[in-house]
Amino acid sequence: MNKILKLSGILFLIICVISGIYVFITRITTDVKIYPVKKRYMRWEFIELNAVIKNKKLREEYKTSPFFVHISRDNENVVTVGNVEQVSMRFDEKKNLWVGKWPCPWAAPVGRYAISASFSEDISVSAEDFLIFARKRKKLDPEIFGVLTFENAAPVDKLGLRSPAGAESDWKTLFDWTEFVGADAFWYLAGQTKAESASPDETFPWRTENISKLSQMGAEAHKRGQKFGAYLIAYLTFGKYKYKNYSYACDYSSSEKGVVETSAVSLGDEKRVSDIIEFVKLLNECKEVDYIGMDYIRNAFGGYELVEEFISDMDIPVPVYWTKLSYVQKISWFANEKISAGNKHLVEQWYWWRAHKVSSILHRITTEVKLKKPLWVFTLSWEKGWHHGQDPVMFSDAGADIISVMIYEATRKQLDYLLKGWNAYVSTDDVNLAVGNVVDWPLHQRTLNPAGPEEFYNRLVKSVEQIYKDGKAKGVFIHDLQRALKGRKEPYSSKEWLLAGSAAITTLKKEHSVFPFDIKINVLNNIRRNEEFDFNILIENISGDKHTDIGLSVILPDGIITGIEKENIIEELSPGAHKTIKFKGIIRNSVVKKGGKSMIAVRVDWKGKNWTVFDYYDIK
């Protein structure tokens, strides 16, 4: 046995020596050697290539002009963003190498990619492969989840909120409402940069009123069996004034004939990255914070100040007089090419490069902080966020564990269109998507039929069902409690919007077989205002398991329940079994402004959570 082991070891050493000799001989005899700087790349990165040319004649030939390489997968040439089919390899005097960059295609399939180049027949070329891989995301608990957000950075002790029962309450009522909608987590805006004076704090540019409250808020959430998330606004600043130590993003205005500074910090500002890292570290170290999030992690406005870096990174062809142009003239040329000339390939490259820039920031933040907690990022939904420098696949690889897609500010027709784009683009392996809708009647086109909250629910459910090409979204977020209580909600009540959001969470969990019941509302006669009416609630166990201790109740936002069967607590419901419970109610309020419709909402109290099913009915 020992002899066999010794012989095996000797054989292994011989193979290693022979392989090493082969590699050495190849390197010294090959005219052109092309290799990736790294062996593995994620999908937000440039694949950086180096080349060594040993052939003296070739070296001189290509010192002044580039040669080109191609990238292939499974023997098929891969075309990347901007319809680019090849990589320009240019001589770098400092490195004494030829260098090139290949932007990884949008949502590139993971796997091995090959590099090739063509020279004359007597030129020997060797090229090394590289791997494109996806980052492994952090595991979420629960995996299927509902969230209530709160976008208000005002001092929590002065919010002046009312509880679900209608009573004035303190900040703890934030978690009463989280219970009310049956959400698993509450996501709170904890970090905002606001210059309220001409000399704001440049050292720690974050509002500090609520930082000391975070541990208390998290503890309150945990006491109720909820998760607590805290998020910051990354690249948009607020207030009348600006911070002197930040460089701000620039836009181009043809009407003003020049560059206009915005209120968004530039993605190229190093201090802002450091400030975000400092705040994320604070959240990462707070044991009561379960999730960390970022909003406006993108080009909030502008971005034209980065045009020279973009042109260089992406190897964009420019006029021969480019180096003679001023800063403003370069921006003007770029804006004209992008907008007036309609250069769609340039536009796509601009989208990719900004998403790459943001992804590199995300990667840096998560790496430097050594992030222990799941990270979510809010992303825009139009064109997968590309218009504003966002991409869900790139963000996921860079460090985001949840991509929270904001399906806001779109008509129903526009939503249908943008969902088709997402469905064609992302798979469940690529990203973990949560879809969210905003409580805002005007942003639902002031619809009365369907009712505003009903359309709010419909859009969420449709997004859950259609956003992936191969599955359903695993998260829903209701945005946000501040808007639901004090925003543009009328003629509907806060409860109607939040009950609709609760129903969306219930439907999400039913789609994933977490909620095991099917519930139907059966109104037995026409409903007339101020007259008692009868209706039944049918609940059926559609799972293969027996369930116990199921509570049923009804909320009439415009009326009252006048009668209910005693058996509204179901002790046991076997697989396939169903039960009908009778109710009586009266609609008291006028519903003329709601298009003559009123909500009936069924509440299920099961496993310590509230679950909701609702519908709207015509009132005579």
Predicted confidence (pLDDT) per residue in 62-95, tens digit: 999 999 999 999 999 999 999 999 999 999 999 9
- If asked whether residues 507 and 365 sit together in one domain, one would say yes
The answer to whether the beta carbons of residues 264 and 298 sit under 8 Å apart is no
Mean pLDDT, range 504-512, rounded to an integer: 98
- If asked whether residues 290 and 150 sit together in one domain, one would say yes
CATH number of the domain bearing residue 573: 2.60.40.10
- If asked whether residues 197 and 96 sit together in one domain, one would say no
In a domain, 166, yes or no: yes
In this prediction, residue 14 carries a pLDDT of 60
Cis peptide before 516 (omega within 30 of 0): no
- If asked whether residues 472 and 583 sit together in one domain, one would say no
What lies within 8 Å, CB to CB, of 139 at 6+ separation is none
In a domain, 246, yes or no: no
Rounded-to-integer distance, Cα 563 and Cα 196, Å: 55
In a domain, 180, yes or no: yes
Burial of 352 (0-12, 13-18, 19+ CB in 10 A): buried
Give one DSSP letter per residue of 569-611, joined into a string: EEEEE-TT-EEEEEEEEEE-S--GGGTSEEEEEEEEEETTEEE
Amino acid 351 reads Y
- If asked whether residues 56 and 197 sit together in one domain, one would say no
The answer to whether the beta carbons of residues 530 and 587 sit under 8 Å apart is yes
Listed residues 487, 511, 535: the one ending a domain: 511
- If asked whether residues 383 and 461 sit together in one domain, one would say yes
In a domain, 174, yes or no: yes
DSSP E strand stretches across 433-558: 433-438, 475-479, 517-523, 533-541, 547-555
Rounded-to-integer distance, Cα 174 and Cα 163, Å: 8
Name the residue range of residue 480's domain.
Answer: 145-239+268-298+355-511
Residue 434 sits at the vertex; the CA angle it makes with 429 and 437, to the nearest 5 degrees, is: 150
Mean pLDDT, range 499-516, rounded to an integer: 98
Asked whether residue 11 carries a pLDDT value surpassing 70, the answer given is no
In tens, the pLDDT along 177-193 reads: 999 999 999 999 999 99
- If asked whether residues 67 and 35 sit together in one domain, one would say yes
The answer to whether the beta carbons of residues 61 and 38 sit under 8 Å apart is no
Three-class SS state of 374: coil
- If asked whether residues 498 and 524 sit together in one domain, one would say no
Rounded-to-integer distance, Cα 145 and Cα 40, Å: 33
In tens, the pLDDT along 277-312 reads: 999 999 999 999 999 999 999 988 889 999 999 999
- If asked whether residues 17 and 40 sit together in one domain, one would say no
The answer to whether the beta carbons of residues 453 and 496 sit under 8 Å apart is yes
What's the total number of domains in the chain?
A: 4
- If asked whether residues 474 and 608 sit together in one domain, one would say no
In tens, the pLDDT along 535-590 reads: 999 999 999 999 999 999 999 999 999 998 766 889 999 999 999 999 999 999 99
Q: Which residue intervals of 286-386 are DSSP H helices?
A: 307-314, 327-335, 344-369
- Proportion of the chain above pLDDT 90, given as a percent: 87
Helices H / strands E in the chain, number of each? 13, 30
Rounded-to-integer distance, Cα 505 and Cα 435, Å: 11
Would you state the structure tokens that stand for residue 255, as one six-digit string? 């009407």
- If asked whether residues 491 and 553 sit together in one domain, one would say no
Would you state the structure tokens that stand for residue 391, as one six-digit string? 């991409």
Rounded-to-integer distance, Cα 17 and Cα 12, Å: 9
Partner residues linked to 189 by β-bridges: 231
The answer to whether the beta carbons of residues 437 and 473 sit under 8 Å apart is no
More confident residue, 574 or 120: 574
Listed residues 478, 511, 544: the one ending a domain: 511
In a domain, 337, yes or no: no
In a domain, 504, yes or no: yes
- Proportion of the chain above pLDDT 70, given as a percent: 94
Q: Which residue intervals of 89-233 are DSSP H helices?
A: 173-181, 214-223
- If asked whether residues 484 and 609 sit together in one domain, one would say no
In tens, the pLDDT along 213-249 reads: 999 999 999 999 999 999 999 999 999 999 999 999 9
Residue in the structure block whose two tokens are 């064109």? 383
Nearest CA-CA partner of 98 in 126, 63, 124: 63
Rounded-to-integer distance, Cα 130 and Cα 115, Å: 8
- CA Rg, the chain, in Å? 29
In a domain, 244, yes or no: no
Nearest CA-CA partner of 603 in 550, 560, 566, 565: 550
In this prediction, residue 10 carries a pLDDT of 65
DSSP E strand stretches across 234-280: 248-253, 258-265
More confident residue, 480 or 118: 480
Would you state the structure tokens that stand for residue 501, as one six-digit string? 């959001």
Q: How confident is the model at residue 49 (pLDDT cuts 50, 70, 90)?
A: very high
In a domain, 311, yes or no: no
Partner residues linked to 293 by β-bridges: 231, 376
- Determine how many CB atoms are found less than 10 A away from the CB of residue 132: 20
In this prediction, residue 130 carries a pLDDT of 98
In this prediction, residue 104 carries a pLDDT of 98
Nearest CA-CA partner of 221 in 187, 170, 191, 190: 187
Q: How far is CA 58 from CA 23, 89, 117, 120, 418, in A?
A: 22, 13, 13, 11, 50
Listed residues 492, 511, 530: the one ending a domain: 511
Residue 503 sits at the vertex; the CA angle it makes with 500 and 508, to the nearest 5 degrees, is: 130
Q: How far is CA 303 from CA 262, 308, 426, 500, in A?
A: 9, 11, 26, 38
Asked whether residue 9 carries a pLDDT value surpassing 70, the answer given is no
In this prediction, residue 539 carries a pLDDT of 97
In tens, the pLDDT along 435-452 reads: 999 999 999 999 999 999
Residue in the structure block whose two tokens are 């700087």? 37
CATH number of the domain bearing residue 221: 3.20.20.80
In tens, the pLDDT along 390-439 reads: 999 999 999 999 999 999 989 999 999 999 999 999 999 999 999 999 99
Rounded-to-integer distance, Cα 610 and Cα 227, Å: 16
Mean pLDDT for all residues in the chain: 93
Q: How far is CA 146 from CA 149, 280, 437, in A?
A: 10, 23, 12
For residue 275, what is the enclosing H or E element? helix 270-285
Q: Phi-psi category of 225—alpha, beta or left, where left has phi over 0 and alpha has psi -120 to 50?
A: left
In this prediction, residue 340 carries a pLDDT of 72
Q: How confident is the model at residue 22 (pLDDT cuts 50, 70, 90)?
A: very low
